[in-house]
Chain A
Amino acid sequence: MEPRTEDAPAPIPAWRRYLVAIWRDKLTLFALLLLIFFILAALFPGLIAPKDPLSQSLSLRNEPPMTPAADGGLPHLFGTDPLGRDVLSRLIHGARVSLSVGFAGVIVSGVIGVLLGVTAGYLRGWTDDLVMRTVDLTMGLPFLVLAIFVLHVIGGGLTNIVLILALVRWPLYARVSRGLTLALAETSIVEAARSLGCSQRRIIFRHLLPNLMSPMLVLATLELARLILAEASLSFLGLGIQPPEPSWGLMISDGRPYIRTSWWVITFPGIFILLTALSANLLATWLRAVSDPAQRWRWLTGQKRRSSGAADDGGPA
């Protein structure tokens, strides 16, 4: 998190101070724990989910929450869906889809965006023009429309969604990282490195990139929330994840015809989406405050009166 330079003294182990700071801020703690739970669910759905997400039962279609299961064992806590599958288990398995799309999309778009942004900002000239004109064009278009169009042409599925989302979201990272690079390139760190004869590659990778890490981390956390929402929308429209794969967006679209009779089929997936995105957004807000040198001390030293803008300047982009 700390801005690093080559010859800076080793920083005091910071992670403990950050842990204490999170512990003090209950809302962020809640968000972090929730996100960790979803990540665990995505990694080991079989251990957490009480039932098989794909096993259907025609006698148990659209049963309300707490209906006893046919095989004994735990009741269907969140009810069953139109095909008699356990909603809770499908939700837990669905976390894998949502979070894979979210994390993979963020990583791919982030790496492309930051590399292009830094290169453009450092080299200037025609590279800069080319990259930034592409950025302007892509960001001017509504990204969901573009994603819908491309997915219609190339077909849905996990890999395609990740690729498309990366394709439409990288310009954001490029724009921000280019701006920061322009500012950093003027500083004495880069000047010193250049006069010592560092290669351009070394300046970019050892001096510029590490200093971009913390703003990019904030941006990536915000984008995680946005990509999860985008995946849900695309799957809801039938252009994303294909059945029978459990995806939260798809579950809502499956339950939509039964809105009059079975509220649980669409309500719970939406709550899961909301909670995931909300915790990512809360975490991003906190990261932003903590990574801002002007505000960090208040959070890490636990002053009761927080700076008024601490949690809120800007908000999710």
Chain B
Amino acid sequence: MLAVVLVVIFVISNLIGDPVALMLPTEATAAQREELAESLGLTGSWWDRLGAYLERVASGTFGQSLWQDVPAMQLVLGRLPVTFYLAGVAFLISVPTAVLMGSIAAFKPRSLIDRFVNVSSLGGVSTVDFWAGLMLIMIFSVGLGWTRTGGFGPGLAYVILPALTLSFRAIGRIAQLTRSAMLDEYSKPYVRMARAKGMPEHRIFFHALKNAAIPVVTLSGDEFNHLLNGAIVVEVVFAWPGIGLLLLQAIERRDLFLIEATIAVIAVLAIVVNLIVDLLYTSLNPKISYR
């Protein structure tokens, strides 16, 4: 997988595009282009460039960032915890909220609460995150002055708005799934059995919730991946100095090596999270096992 990702990155930046052109502004002269190509070892055929690329990758640094003049990988890894912090807070907001919303909705299908949960979760998936973020800034930072408009710092005032923004989509999806998983469980014989023998409704609820948890956990893991994905746009809106903002800054500054390093790290992260989700799924579901 990792090898394929690295090859894809090479193909896009070196075969589809011209790396030298990608690193210089459009008005650069031919002499400037040659000089840069010479200094970075980007001359010669694509075969030579593949060699140079592999060398950069193998050194673990992905080359020197032109913008900050430090190894690109070092910059990326430095920003990684910042993004994780944001995604983690968003995750902690969205999963409990969504499970609560979904299970309440399933408790009384077709009720007013159910319809409300339904439409609001659809709304959550239909909103563009950067716009939701700007609206939150407008209301809470500009209007009420409760929170920061952006930037990174300790304390809730910084993290709460970007985390809320990120969680809308996740809440929508997880709430819908929780609802339908709970409804599935409620229609199963064991619940009917429990009702028949007079088990109190709140105990039935927890029985059902436990069984409904399997698909919900899988989706939550998947959503964590989406949180990392969505973090790119949201970080730009809130000037949150994570890996997404880094990617955009690298693109603005045409820092190709830094772009390559960022993409590689994001791709590896996605693969690792997918793997963890698969493992979680197996350990939660007694019906499936990889022996």
A154 touches B131 (CB 8 A): no
Given the known interface contacts A149-B263, A259-B134, A316-B173, the answer about A233 and B128 at a Cβ–Cβ threshold of 8 Å is yes
Whether B176 pairs with A308 at a CB distance below 8 angstroms is no
Segment at the interface with A among B59-67, B89-97, B177-185, B189-197: B177-185
Tell me, in angstroms, the Cα distance from A140 to B1 when the chains sit together.
10
* B248 CB within 8 Å of chain A: yes
Report the nearest B residue to A263, measured CB to CB: B138
Are B135 and A270 in contact, CB atoms less than 8 angstroms apart? yes
Tell me the smallest distance from the CB of B17 to a CB of chain A, in Å: 4
Question: In the complex the two chains form, is A141's CB within 8 Å of B16's CB?
Answer: no
Q: Which of B50-58, B153-161, B200-208, B264-272 contacts A (4 or more CB under 8 A)?
A: B264-272
Instruction: Count B-side interface residues using an 8 Å CB cutoff.
Output: 55
Please tell me if A62 contacts chain B, counting CB pairs below 8 Å.
Answer: no
Interface mask (A218-229 → B, CB under 8 Å = 1, otherwise 0):
000000010001
Inter-chain contact A142/B12, CB cutoff 8 Å: no
Q: B126 near A225 (CB under 8 angstroms)?
A: yes
The answer to whether the Cβ of A137 comes within 8 Å of any Cβ in the partner chain is yes
What is the size, in residues, of chain A's interface with B at 8 Å between Cβ atoms?
49
Is A285 interfacial (CB-CB < 8 Å)?
Answer: yes
Given contact pairs A153-B13, A259-B137, A274-B126, A312 touches B179 in the complex (Cβ within 8 A): yes
Q: A315-B122, A315-B173 are in contact. Are A145 and B232 (CB under 8 A)?
A: yes
Cβ A148 vs Cβ B251 within 8 A: yes
Considering the chains assembled together, what is the distance between the CA atoms of A277 and B172 in angstroms? 14
With a cutoff of 8 Å between Cβ atoms, the chain B residues found around residue A236 in the complex are 128, 130, 233
Determine if B78 is an interface residue (Cβ-Cβ < 8 Å): no
Is A91's CB within 8 Å of the partner chain B?
no
Cβ-based interface call for B127 (8 A): yes
The distance in angstroms between the C-alpha atoms of A34 and B118, with both chains bound, is 19
B122: which of A143, A263, A281 is its contact (CB, 8 Å)? A281
Q: Verify A259–B142 contact, CB threshold 8 A.
A: yes
Q: Distance in Å from the Cβ of B86 to the closest Cβ of chain A? A: 15
Kindly state whether residue A309 has any CB partner on chain B within 8 Å: yes
Q: How far is A308 from B131 in the complex, measured between Cα atoms in Å?
A: 33
Q: How far is the CB of B133 from chain A (nearest CB, A)?
A: 10
CB proximity to B under 8 Å, residues A135-165: 137, 140-145, 148-150, 152-154
Check: B41 CB closer than 8 A to any chain A CB: no
Q: Do A278 and B128 form a contact, CB below 8 Å, given A153-B12, A311-B118?
A: no
| Complex contact A142–B225 (CB within 8 A) | yes
Is B217 on the interface with A (CB-CB < 8 A)?
no
Say whether A237 faces chain B, with CB atoms less than 8 Å apart.
Answer: yes
CA distance A48 to B278 in the complex (A): 51
B248 touches A237 (CB 8 A): yes
| Contacting residues of chain B (194-231) with chain A, CB-CB under 8 angstroms | 225-226, 228-230
Shortest beta-carbon distance from B79 to chain A in Å:
14
CA distance in complex: A277, B132 (Å): 14
A282 to B266, CA, bound (A): 32
A273 to B129, CA, bound (A): 11
Q: Is B4 an interface residue (CB 8 A)?
A: yes
Per-residue CB contact flags for chain B residues 6-35 toward chain A (1 = under 8 Å, else 0) read 000100110011000010000000000000
Asked whether any CB of chain B lies closer than 8 Å to the CB of A186, the reply is no
B77 within 8 A of A: no
Q: Are A260 and B142 in contact (CB under 8 A)?
A: yes
**What A residues does B232 contact at CB under 8 A?**
144-145, 148
A312 & B118 in contact (Cβ 8 Å cutoff): yes
The reply to whether B110 and A141 contact each other, CB–CB distance below 8 Å, is no
Min CB gap A161→B, angstroms: 15
Of all chain A residues, which has the CB nearest B125? A316
Contact B233 A233 (CB under 8 A): yes
**A313 in the interface (beta carbon within 8 A):** yes
Measured between beta carbons, the chain B residues less than 8 angstroms from A237 are: 233, 236, 248
B109 CB–A CB distance under 8 Å: yes
Complex CA–CA separation, A139 to B1 (angstroms): 12
The smallest C-beta distance from B281 to any residue of chain A, in angstroms, reads: 15
Please tell me if the beta carbons of A142 and B126 are within 8 angstroms of each other in the complex: no
Find out whether the CB atom of A252 lies under 8 angstroms from the CB atom of B233: no
Q: For A274, what are the chain B residues with a Cβ–Cβ distance below 8 Å?
A: 123, 126-128, 131
Decide yes or no whether A306 CB sits under 8 A from chain B: yes
Which A residues fall within an 8 A CB radius of B?
27, 137, 140-145, 148-150, 152-154, 225, 229, 232-233, 236-237, 239, 249, 252, 256, 259-260, 263, 266-267, 269-270, 273-274, 277-278, 280-282, 285, 305-306, 308-309, 311-316
- Inter-chain pairs besides A150-B16, A152-B22, 18 sampled, C-beta below 8 Å: A137-B1, A141-B5, A142-B228, A144-B230, A149-B259, A153-B13, A153-B16, A237-B236, A252-B130, A266-B138, A270-B135, A278-B122, A278-B123, A281-B125, A308-B109, A312-B180, A314-B180, A315-B172
Show 26 A/B contacts (Cβ-Cβ < 8 Å), sorted by A. Answer: A141-B5, A141-B267, A142-B229, A142-B270, A144-B232, A148-B247, A148-B251, A153-B12, A153-B17, A229-B126, A236-B128, A252-B130, A252-B134, A266-B134, A266-B138, A269-B131, A274-B131, A281-B122, A281-B126, A282-B122, A285-B122, A308-B110, A312-B118, A314-B176, A315-B177, A316-B122
The list of the 5 closest CB pairs from A to B, nearest first, reads A315-B176, A270-B131, A153-B17, A277-B126, A142-B229
